[in-house]
Structure formats: structure tokens, C-alpha cells
Amino acid sequence: MPDGSGGQAWSETPAPRFVPGSEVAGFTIEGTIASGSFGTVYRARRSGRPYAIKLVRIYPRGDREAAALRLMRHPNVVAFHGYGFWPEDDPCFLVLALELVEGRTLDVWVEQENPSALELVMRVLLPFALTLADVHASGVVHRDIKEANIVMREADGQPVLVDFGAAGLKEGAVRLTLRLPPGTPEYRSPEALRFAKQWEGEPYPFAPGDDLWAMGVVIYILLTRELPFGDRSDPGLTRAILEKTPPAPHELNPRVPLALSELCMGMLEKDPENRYPDAKALAEDLVDLCTQADSTWRPPLFPGNGHEKHTAPAAPPEPRRRLPGRWWVAAGLALGAALLLCVPGDTPRTALPPSPTMPGGNSGRKVEAPATTAEVTRGAAPDKAPIPAPVAAATNSEEPTMMKKSKTVRTLIAAGCVASTGCVSTPKPRPMPSPAECPPGAQAAHKRLGIHPGNVLGVCLNSMMGCLGVMPVRDGQPFRAAMEIQEARVPASTMFDGNLYLGTARIYGRFIQATLPTGETLPVCLEVMVVGEHERGTWAEAGSTATEGRVQGSISLQVVERFK
């Protein structure tokens, strides 16, 4: 049934309630973290290590959440360790194994910490904008950005994006809702609501701009402690989002710097053409604001509550090297440069403890995970490195030094100059298999299976161990990959046969045959890739050598028209 704003109101049967001590897919339940229409999240433990596990029904929406999480490998996105099934004898729930992010939700954090405008930008808004840029580059739109889904991680003070239950995939995914995707009414964009009012039966073409609008709502709330357009109990909420302009944050809270207030209002423009084109552009302007911040940015945003004495924000600790993407490393350089400009004096950097992993093995359909932290750490550079654009020197000698530095930071961001790629030389790549045509009949088989060039299928390299673990690979080794979750008309349990090849820092693969659960075989043309990177192959895990690579058991295969 539709909700009050034209979206789909999801009311799935909730997952069973487990009491502490219950065993679920190899995990021991310790308590409930949250429960909602998309599933229940529990604090759990396995082999002495803490996890968050989420139970969602084996249903297209649950499958989509697992697929979105599989694509995201980022230090500021809740880590996905894999999934299992429950109950084991007759599964009806997916058990998603997630990083347990210890910390406070953003609304609680900002209420208790009462940060200054400068702290808010440097500790929350800038790193979160950079994170959102990576999420979108991976082909995922979160679609439920709000304070409750951003956790300020206690270990390092970084904002972590959680709860991908409403996430959408931009490519290769069947639309599950028509009039509007799921989400929270107060954070819906005007274009989404206009689409609902004029709906003619087509699915809503969601986009990263929906997340950016929601982030604008979040910023407004952080600066004013008020919703810009009212809440869902107000029958005029939809009209307000479509037609009304809220008071600017600095009008409601004089402690908000004018430039930050204007940035927020720019994010809430009704016409998407007048808003930021992407999260990267937003991050660039946040860096600019920071470098020009004066003393008015340093008092706490709200008077009272014991935080009047303010200290300059410390540089964030080193990000955990879980699975960094190239853009995140570039963002780290920009963030570090901005901190050098905004915070006087030397600021110590602290090392982080290793993130938890699941040691040990498992069998059947329960979740199994890597044995060591090193197995989920990427330490190698990609095979091909983009050449960074040169940083232009300032020509106006009277231009303020801070502005010159700001422009340098923005150029670094735009150039993508990163330590692991464009800023350092990389080893010479290994020779790769020659380009080849797809097997005869592959295109017809793709059409029958409902998949098209560019579509992505998530597969497991060892279905007997779940969809987890780090596996050894020899150059040219034959491999069989299994579909655990149905995509398009490719049924679960479909097997794909192909070969994996070792690159300098990536592992490549070509899969040419599908075996359906009925036993029928079909020719296919699938290549291993990382969604959002637009490059062949997946990252080689730490511990890979010249003769034996290591690869995550969960990989993505892209449908191609020929092997390049």
C-alpha cells in the first residue's frame, strides 16, 4: 500500500525475536540494536568477536540490501562480512553479517557534543560528503540519508553510513517499487514528490541528487535543531517541500556562519539544476569554507549545555585500511590538507585498532568469514594509475595565502592525485589474456536470462563456505562461481564456470558458461570487475604473491559484449 507521500509503505512480517543467548547462523545473540520494516538488527558475537547481524526476509528487498552492501568497500560505510541463512533446514531469512559500529547516532552526538561550525564541517560534513561520493561512484544510492543512519564511530570519531535497507542500485537491478522508492517522508526530494503527483505507471528514476537533498535536510537540522519543512504528522509536509522556502539557518541560529547557512540553503533549492551536481562538488566547497573560516566559526553552535569552552578540532585519526577506493585516498589527502590549513599547530595522529573479523571456518549454509584482519586489508596499488593533472600556480601575487592553498586542495581533489595510484609509480603489469570474442550464443543466452551489457551479478567463488572468506588463486586457474541470490531471470544456485588470472595488483577473470539449477548449460560472457571503478578485475587481497593471489570469496561479474 502507498504511504501518505506516494511511496510504498512496507509492512513485511517482522523477523522472530531472539533473546540473548540464542544461536543464529553461528552467532550468539547478545541483544537488539534496532528493528524496523526492513529487518531487525542484533548485537551478536562469534568466536569472541562482536558483530551486528541483520535478519531480513528472503525477498527482493532483502536481496537488494545484500547486493548494495556487497558493492561498498569503504572505511566510513558499515562493513559487510557476508551473509548466511536462517533457519538452516528451511531458510526464510537472510542473516547479514555486519561490522558492529560502536558510537552515537549523529543526532545524539550533535546534541551532546554541541560542536562549533568548524568542528561540524571538519568532523562530520566533509568526511561524510567524501563518503557519499564513493557510495554513488559504486553505483549505489542510499535513499534514506538521515541523522539516525549516520553513526559517529567511537573508535576514531568518523561518521559511518549504516542501514542500506532502502538502497537502490543504478545499474543492472530490477525496480522493486513504482511510484516512489522507500525512504523517510521528511527527507524526500521535491523531484521525487513531483514524480509521485504526476505518476503514470513508470518507476521513479532515483538518483544521487536524492541523497544530496536529504543531506541538505540533515545539515539544516544540525544547524537549527528544526526540520526545514515540518514532520510527517503535518498534512502540509508535501506541499512545503514542493513550494515553501524555510528560514535560512543563520536567521534561526545567529551562531551559524553566513557562508555555511548559504551552502545549506543552496542544497535545498527546489530545482535540482540549482543544487550541487554531486557529492564531490559539495566536498570541494566545504574545503573552501573551512580554509576561509574566521573566529566566528569557533564558538559552539548552541549556547549552554556545558560546551561553551571550545578547543580547535583535532585532525581525524588515520582511516582504517579496510578496502580503500582510489577516490577515498584522494579525499583523505584533501581532508588532511584542509586540516593543515584550518587548524594551527601540530596535531598528533593516532593509530586505530584493527577492525574485527570473523575467525575460523564454517560449513553448510551458515556464515563463514576471513581468518585474520590482514585478509581484509588492501595494500597494493592498482595496475593502471591515472596521471594527475598538474597543480596550477597562482598568478595573482596579492591573492591571500589561504585562498591559494584552498585552490591547491581543490585541484588535488579534482586531479585524483593519490598515494596509491597517480602520485607513485606502480610495478609493470603482467601480460593479460588477449582480447577475445564472447562464446557463440552468449548474447541470446543473456537475453533469455534478462541480463544486458553493463549489468552486474554478485557471485560466490565457494558456495560451500557461504559467500565469504579469502581464497588463493593461481594464474589461469579454473573457478566455479555460484549465484546465491536471484538477479533478473538468473535463478539462485546458477553456477558460472571460467578462469581467474593474476595481475600486478588486481585479479582478473572471464566466465563463459552458466549451469542452471535444472542442469541446462548456456554460454555467457562475464568479466570480473569492481562496480563503480570502470576497470576490469577486482583488488588482490593482502598476502598475494607473484605466484599466488588472494581474492575475496564474494565478487562481481559484469555482462560484456566481448572480452577486452
Confidence at residue 20, expressed as pLDDT on a 0 to 100 scale: 95
Residue 510's alpha-carbon distances to 101, 482, 534, in angstroms, are 36, 14, 16
**Where along the chain do its domains lie?**
23-98, 104-325, 436-563
pLDDT at 382: 33
One-character DSSP codes across 210-237: HHHHHHHHHHHHHHHSS-SS--TTSTTH
| 515-531 b/e (C-beta count within 10 Å ≥ 16 → b) | beeeeeebbbbbbbbbb
The closest of 539, 469, 508 to 74, measured between CA atoms, is 539
Q: Do the Cβ atoms of 164 and 69 come closer than 8 Å?
A: yes
| Edge-to-edge strand ranges of the sheet holding 39-46 | 23-24, 27-36, 39-46, 49-57, 93-98, 80-86
Candidates 211, 280, 181; CA nearest to 219 is 211
Beta bridge partners of 473: 549
* CATH number for domain 104-325, candidates 1.20.1050.10, 1.10.510.10, 2.40.30.10, 3.10.180.10: 1.10.510.10
Q: Give dist(CA 25, CA 57) in Å, integer.
A: 14
Which residues are bridge partners to 528 per DSSP?
557
Q: Which residues contact 157 (CB under 8 A, 6 or more apart)?
A: 123, 316, 317
C-alpha span between 216 and 278 (Å, rounded): 12
Q: What pLDDT is attached to residue 367?
A: 38
- How far does Cα 396 stand from its chain's mean position? 40
Res 469: pLDDT: 63
- Residue 82 near residue 468, CB atoms below 8 Å: yes
Identify the pLDDT of residue 196.
Answer: 80
CB-based contact 506:465 (threshold 8 Å):
no
pTM value > 0.75: no
Q: Which CATH class is domain 23-98?
A: alpha beta
- Nearest C-alpha neighbor of 524 from the set 494, 553, 500: 494
- The residue count for the chain: 564
pLDDT score of 468: 57
Q: Are strands 436-437 and 562-563 parallel, antiparallel or unpaired?
A: antiparallel
Report which residue type is found at 335. Answer: L
Which cell goes with 399? Answer: 591573492
pLDDT (tens place) for every residue of the chain, 564 residues total: 334 333 333 334 456 789 999 999 889 999 999 876 567 899 999 888 899 999 888 775 567 788 888 887 788 999 888 778 888 788 888 888 899 999 999 999 999 999 999 999 999 999 999 999 999 998 899 999 999 999 999 988 999 999 998 888 865 444 445 556 678 999 999 998 988 877 655 767 788 999 999 999 999 999 999 999 999 999 999 999 999 999 999 999 999 999 999 999 999 999 999 999 999 999 999 999 988 899 999 999 999 754 444 444 444 444 333 333 434 444 454 555 455 455 443 333 333 333 333 333 333 333 333 333 222 222 333 333 332 333 333 333 334 433 333 343 444 343 333 333 333 333 444 556 788 999 999 999 999 999 988 888 878 876 444 555 678 889 988 988 888 667 778 887 899 999 999 988 889 999 999 999 899 999 999 999 876 556 788 888 878 888 899 887 778 888 999 998
| Separation of alpha carbons 43 and 100, rounded Å | 7
Residue 198 exposed, middle or buried by CB count within 10 Å (0-12, 13-18, 19+): exposed
pLDDT of residue 454: 82
Q: To 10 degrees, the CA torsion angle through 326, 330, 74, 282?
A: -120
pLDDT at 413: 41
The CATH architecture that domain 436-563 belongs to is: Beta Barrel (2.40)
